[in-house]
């Protein structure tokens, strides 16, 4: 009996150590993917081979660049202070201690979320780092080459889900659109068409590799973009069930960093018939342009 207990304790100790070491298959996969996409983005910036842009050849944002945009979108560029600053090829965002809901009537967990957006190839990737009942839970959310995917890994080894397909492709593309004014060089790409609605609203449609989606941006009187709403995303539960649900991203508490105003708060909401679900609630986010 003593031998059995000793073996059990040894196995438990090994598991605890394994759970707490920084290495994981998911983090390594994400790091390799991020490095590859960053190298590609740097190459595009160096050789200026991006043919999707409708901007001038200037390396900084100018009034000419935004002249074709609806007035509230132009005002957002001016409010944030982008004019006269360098055009970025990528963006990294770090979210810490995000309140993340597992779904309607399900628990909320804390997650760390690291995200990259790339302008030229319209790629977006994110890594989720969390735990459930003391067991590591990780996720990789990706839109690369026009294909969307979301993968969840438990205990660093076991894939809980790996969602792909046309609905995920479109949802990922629309998410990229929602963030286009956070990395504003995206908003100038020819893949996105803009339509004026009124002084505080504009509609945008993004098309890429046979996929398209649209949504409405809402702006404050001072020019800050405060929300994006779309009907072109599906909510997928952890049990694999999907349904078309209105989705809103909210940006708030703009702060000035290096002369540019960026949002300090980002929230995501599913508008279920049963009631709204604030499932991603972050603050003190770190945005870095590359």
The answer to the question of residue 91 being in a domain is yes
Confidence check: pLDDT of 238 > 70: no
pTM of the model: 0.87
Which residue is associated with the tokens 């990259």? 116
Provide the domain limits for residue 152. 24-289
pLDDT at 23: 54
Greatest extent of the chain over all pairs of C-alpha atoms, in Å: 80
Confidence check: pLDDT of 92 > 80: yes
The answer to the question of residue 15 being in a domain is no
Confidence check: pLDDT of 102 > 50: yes
Confidence check: pLDDT of 141 > 60: yes
Alpha-carbon distance of 88 to 106, in angstroms, equals 39
Q: Average model confidence (pLDDT) for the chain?
A: 89
Number of domains forming the structure of the chain: 1
112 three-class SS: strand
CB 202 within 8 A of CB 209: no
Looking from the CA of 65 toward its CB, the CA atoms found within 13 Å total 25
Of 190, 214, 188, 191, which is closest to residue 203 (Cα–Cα)? Answer: 214
The answer to the question of residue 16 being in a domain is no
93 three-class SS: strand
Q: What is the mean pLDDT of residues 205-225?
A: 98
pLDDT at 42: 83
Q: Which two tokens stand for residue 246?
A: 């209105």
Q: What percent of the chain has pLDDT over 70?
A: 86
The answer to the question of residue 244 being in a domain is yes
The answer to the question of residue 251 being in a domain is yes
The answer to the question of residue 103 being in a domain is yes
Instruction: Kindly report, residue by residue over 244-255, the tens digit of the pLDDT.
Output: 999 999 999 999
Q: Which two tokens stand for residue 1?
A: 């009996």
The answer to the question of residue 3 being in a domain is no
Q: Which two tokens stand for residue 185?
A: 């060089």
The answer to the question of residue 13 being in a domain is no
pLDDT at 19: 45
CATH code at 147?
2.50.20
Q: What is the mean pLDDT of residues 8-21?
A: 39
pLDDT at 91: 98
Alpha helices in the chain (DSSP H): 2-20, 25-47, 63-66, 71-80, 166-178
Q: What is the mean pLDDT of residues 82-96?
A: 97
């Amino acid at each position: 009996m003593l031998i059995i207990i000793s073996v059990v304790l040894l196995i438990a100790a090994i598991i605890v150590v394994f759970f707490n070491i920084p290495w994981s298959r998911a983090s390594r996969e994400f790091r390799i993917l991020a490095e590859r996409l960053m190298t590609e983005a740097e190459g595009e910036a160096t050789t200026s081979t991006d043919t999707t842009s409708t901007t001038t050849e200037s390396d900084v944002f100018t009034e000419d660049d935004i002249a074709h945009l609806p007035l509230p979108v132009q005002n957002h560029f001016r409010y944030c202070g982008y004019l006269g600053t360098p055009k970025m090829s990528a963006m990294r965002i770090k979210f810490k201690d995000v309140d993340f809901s597992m779904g309607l009537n399900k628990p909320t967990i804390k997650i760390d979320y690291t995200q990259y957006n790339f302008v030229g190839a319209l790629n977006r990737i994110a890594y989720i780092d969390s735990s459930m009942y003391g067991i590591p839970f990780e996720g990789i959310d990706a839109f690369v080459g026009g294909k969307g995917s979301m993968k969840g890994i438990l205990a660093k080894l076991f894939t809980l889900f790996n969602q792909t397909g046309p609905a995920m492709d479109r949802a990922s593309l629309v998410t990229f659109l929602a963030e286009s004014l956070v990395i504003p060089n995206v908003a100038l790409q020819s893949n996105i068409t803009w339509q004026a609605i009124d002084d505080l609203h504009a509609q945008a449609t993004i098309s890429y590799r046979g996929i398209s989606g649209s949504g409405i941006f809402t702006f404050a009187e001072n020019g800050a973009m405060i929300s994006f709403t779309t009907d072109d995303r599906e909510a997928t539960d952890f049990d694999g069930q999907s349904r078309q649900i209105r989705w809103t991203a909210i940006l708030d508490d703009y702060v000035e960093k290096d002369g540019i105003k960026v949002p300090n708060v980002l929230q995501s909401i599913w508008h279920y018939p049963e009631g709204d679900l604030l499932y991603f609630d972050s603050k003190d986010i770190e945005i870095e342009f590359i």
